[in-house]
Amino acid sequence: ASTLGAAAAQTGRYFGAAVAAGKLGDSTYVNILNREFSMITPENEMKWDATEPNRGQFNYSGGDRILNQAVSTGKRVRGHALLWYQQEPGWAQRMEGSDLRAAMMNHVTTVATHYKGKIYAWDVVNEAFADGGSGGRRDSNLQRTGNDWIEAAFRAARAADPDAKLCYNDYNTDGVNAKSTGIYNMVRDFKSRGVPIDCVGFQSHLSGNPPGDYQANLQRFADLGVEVQITELDISGSNQAGAYGTVTRACMAVSRCAGLTTWGIRDTDSWRSGENPLLFDGNGNKKAAYTSVLDAL
Ligand code: XIL
């Protein structure tokens, strides 16, 4: 196959990109998007600050633009993200406790209901675990509403949109380490107690090669019975092309790895400005990393 999406489809997988609604008028950007990718993640447009800027007042304009672009070109959408300690609207940042818990659950239910039946997978909860060696939760006002906030969010999302896959998504989970093991233990607990969870997203914001146990780490989650997805892939460094190939081959080797998403299209679209971590250069030309991925799919 001659495009990322078509190559991934040969094994039933998808290949996606994070997309910004504000760039949908850029013809170079849209041409690459339409040609290469089969899945879209809104880069910011479905986050809490965008979708509920004032309490109880919902705004789906950016998210709907991206969803409509995807539907009209035959692509699917990963919803990102229902609850995250960053990009909370100011009103939620100032809340705590049972008031915040009620606002969180209303947000999950209302947004998931708006997009019901249209989302392939939701990042229900993003980045809830701490970095470093604790293996525990990250402190946040969300976490301080009670340790059960994650399972409550997953149950609310399932009730609102029974057909969307429900994912937990995080970074620095690229190998077997304390953080990924904390998440692994949560997923195992959810599966054993019937808390609805279908997938785990590995953001994979990398500098050079992933850890040597990257594939083994994906596999141990898959062995819990959840889908695994590479959700925000971008890689800096001189071994970029090789590292992209290694990550792609790891997904291909794990049967429950459903697909990969790069966090943007061209280097100039990246949130990691200056690191040129994507598959297309600023002019929209394919880089060596692109060929490395295509060959690995
Ligand atoms: C980033 C976006 O790319 C930026 O445009 C925004 O300013 C900040 O968020 N982990 C995530 C993504 O889950 O939502 C983040 O996206 C990158 C890190």
What are 109-163's pLDDT values in tens digits?
999 999 999 999 999 999 999 999 999 999 999 999 999 999 999 999 999 999 9
270 CA → ligand 1 middle, Å: 10
Active-site entry in 45, 52, 127, 227:
127
Average pLDDT score over the chain = 98
Query: At 191, is the pLDDT very low, low, confident or very high (cuts 50, 70, 90)?
Result: very high
Q: What atom of ligand 1 comes closest to residue 205's alpha carbon?
A: 18
Q: List, for residues 231-267, the tens digit of each pLDDT value.
A: 999 999 999 999 999 999 999 999 999 999 999 999 9
For residue 44 and ligand 1, the question of a CB distance below 6 A is answered with yes
For residue 203 and ligand 1, the question of a CB distance below 6 A is answered with yes
For residue 246 and ligand 1, the question of a CB distance below 6 A is answered with no
Q: Tell the residue nearest (CA) to atom 16 of ligand 1.
A: 43
43 CA → ligand 1 middle, Å: 7
List phi, psi (to 5°) of 179: -70, -50
For residue 233, the SS3 value is strand
Contacts 24+ apart (CB under 8 A), 51-56: 51/107, 51/111, 52/89, 52/92, 52/107, 52/110, 52/111, 53/89, 54/89, 54/91, 55/89, 55/91, 55/92, 55/103, 56/106
Q: What is the ipTM of this complex?
A: 0.99
273 pLDDT above the threshold of 90: no
Q: What atom of ligand 1 comes closest to residue 231's alpha carbon?
A: 13
For residue 48, what pLDDT is reported? 99
232 is catalytic: yes
